[in-house]
Amino acid sequence: MIGWLIGAASALFFSASSILVRIGQRRKHADDGVLMTVFVNLVVLSVVGLFVTRPSFDLGGVVALVSGGILGTVFGRSFQLRSVRLIGPSRASAFITGTPLVAAIGGWIVLGEELAPLEAAGGALVVAGLLWLVRVRAGAGGSAEKVPLSSYLVAAGAPVFFGSAFVVRKLGLRYFDSAVLGALIGVAAAFAVLLLIDVVRRQLGQRISKNLRPVPWFFVAAGFTTAMAILSQFYAFGYLPAWVVGILQGTQGIWTVFLGYVFLKGDEKIDSPLLVSVGLVVSGVILIALQ
């Protein structure tokens, strides 16, 4: 039971981060908030890491954790934050509910976690919900609000990277058994990659300047909530299979709809097609959980 509570708390923290990022993007039109949020992740997890016992070093485990950090924090979060700007946090979180499907397939292939027929049926409901959202929002059904299909492709990339990261992180924790230090290793690797990307693009100085004058406090707050989300996620791996953690991450859609309604009135449109989509994907999540 405690694993399910920790996993659900992780989803809530991620949803809060999504809302905070969207508010921050209103003030920083050219910045999706990736670098600042990951920097705050690194600071928070480094402080927490000072108070935990280090396990025996295992190169394979560390490599897996580094890979998981790059997959989830660099690619997954970059795609997610970009999709928040393109289609809004509630719709972006509807796509995130596809994460358990990716995690279930990856867990079966890499970790030997079984996927039962009922779980496959739940996955089909998740996909159906996502396809419904894409069809309506992209205007295929004649909706008045048309969003480029490319925006939804960006959003669809996030659960692929996040689900893959779940599997790789779970694999890494089998050999390097520390939730806190495992999370820290992944975030540190992601931060190094993000810095390298900005150096190659010759944008590092400009990026730092924009994040200091003025300080984007909503991105800072989002970094704190994301750090709590990542930490909760790693602790959940100690109690649950990777695909179950992915299922709980799928509840982000519910949390984000509620938080968006409260904090993003006038910015986030919560309508019946969105609610149908979230309902389908959440139904799929519940069906998988019943197995």
Q: Tell me, yes or no, whether 34 lies in a domain.
A: yes
- As to burial, measured by CB atoms within 10 angstroms (0-12 exposed, 13-18 middle, 19+ buried), residue 289 is middle
Whether the per-residue pLDDT at 196 is higher than 60: the answer is yes
Q: Tell me, yes or no, whether 277 lies in a domain.
A: no
8-12, 57-61, 149-153, 200-204, range with greatest mean pLDDT: 57-61
Q: Which amino acid belongs to residue 30?
A: A
Placement of tokens 């998740």 in the chain: 126
Whether the per-residue pLDDT at 216 is higher than 90: the answer is no
Whether the per-residue pLDDT at 141 is higher than 60: the answer is no
In this prediction, residue 282 carries a pLDDT of 77
- Average pLDDT value for the chain: 81
- Helix and strand tally (H, E) in the chain? 14, 0
In this prediction, residue 134 carries a pLDDT of 59
- Would you say 179 and 245 are in contact if contact means Cβ atoms under 8 Å apart? no
In this prediction, residue 152 carries a pLDDT of 84
Whether the per-residue pLDDT at 144 is higher than 50: the answer is no
Whether the per-residue pLDDT at 138 is higher than 70: the answer is no
Q: Tell me, yes or no, whether 136 lies in a domain.
A: no
Whether the per-residue pLDDT at 168 is higher than 80: the answer is yes
State pLDDT tens for residues 124-136. 787 777 667 656 6
Q: What percent of the chain has pLDDT over 70?
A: 86
Q: Which amino acid belongs to residue 87?
A: I
Q: Tell me, yes or no, whether 203 lies in a domain.
A: yes
For residues 1 and 72, the model is more confident at: 72
In this prediction, residue 49 carries a pLDDT of 93
Tokens encoding 207: 């990026």
Whether the per-residue pLDDT at 90 is higher than 50: the answer is yes
Q: Tell me, yes or no, whether 86 lies in a domain.
A: yes
12-16, 97-101, 287-291: lowest mean pLDDT where?
287-291
Q: Tell me, yes or no, whether 22 lies in a domain.
A: yes
Domain count, the chain: 1
In this prediction, residue 23 carries a pLDDT of 83
Whether the per-residue pLDDT at 140 is higher than 50: the answer is no
Q: Which amino acid belongs to residue 225?
A: T
Judged by DSSP in three states, 240 sits in coil
Reported as a pLDDT band with limits 50, 70 and 90, residue 65 is very high
Q: Tell me, yes or no, whether 279 lies in a domain.
A: no
In this prediction, residue 221 carries a pLDDT of 93
Whether the per-residue pLDDT at 142 is higher than 60: the answer is no
138-142, 219-223, 274-278: lowest mean pLDDT where?
138-142
Q: How many residues are given for the chain?
A: 291
Query: Could you give the CA distance from residue 91 to residue 257 in angstroms, rounded to a whole number?
Result: 9
Q: Tell me, yes or no, whether 288 lies in a domain.
A: no
- Domain range for 38 is 2-114+143-266
- Would you say 224 and 48 are in contact if contact means Cβ atoms under 8 Å apart? no
Whether the bond between 89 and the residue before it is cis, its omega within 30 degrees of 0, is no
Reported as a pLDDT band with limits 50, 70 and 90, residue 71 is very high
Q: Mean per-residue pLDDT for 101-124?
A: 80
